[in-house]
Amino acid sequence: MRRDIFQAIADPTRRVIIVLIALQTMTPNAIAEHFDMTRQAVSKHLRILTECELVKQEQQGREIYYSLEIEKMKEIDKWLEQFKKIWESRFNQLDKVLSTNKKQKK
C-alpha cells in the first residue's frame, strides 16, 4: 500500500525522524536511541516513511542505513509554496493598511 506523504509527516515522531536523517544517514538503532519507544515502533515509522518514499534504505554489510529522499521533500515544499504566496500577499496588504492608518493619525 502506497501512503500519502502528508499522512507520513502528520505524525510528530516521523517529523523528528526526518530531521534526524536529514542531518546524517542513520541505522534504525541509532534513530531509536533518540526516542523513548521500542525499536519495533521506530521501525514501523521508518516503514511508513519508506512507503511514502520520503526516506530510502541502503544495505551496507549487515546494517541498513536510512537517508532522506530530497525529491519527495521538494513535493512538500512545492505544495507549501502556494500558501507562502498567499501569506506574503496578506502581510503586504496588512502593511499597507497599517501604513495608511499611521499616516491618517498624524
- Are 58 and 38 within one domain? yes
**Pairwise CA distance, residues 50 & 55, whole Å:** 5
Q: Residue 75: its pLDDT value, please?
A: 85
Element holding 6 (H helix, E strand): helix 5-9
Residue 68 three-state SS: strand
The pTM for the full model equals 0.75
- Are 64 and 87 within one domain? no
Task: Report the number of distinct structural domains present in the chain.
Answer: 2
- Are 92 and 106 within one domain? yes
Q: Residue 2: its pLDDT value, please?
A: 62
- Are 10 and 34 within one domain? yes
- Are 57 and 84 within one domain? no
Asked whether the predicted pLDDT for residue 1 surpasses 60, the reply is: no
Question: Which structural domain range is residue 63 located in?
Answer: 1-68
**Pairwise CA distance, residues 67 & 17, whole Å:** 10
Q: pLDDT of 63-98, one tens digit each? A: 999 999 988 888 888 888 988 888 888 888 888 888
- Are 102 and 63 within one domain? no
Asked whether the predicted pLDDT for residue 106 surpasses 80, the reply is: no
Q: In the chain, what percentage of residues exceed pLDDT 70?
A: 97
Q: How high is the mean pLDDT of the chain?
A: 90
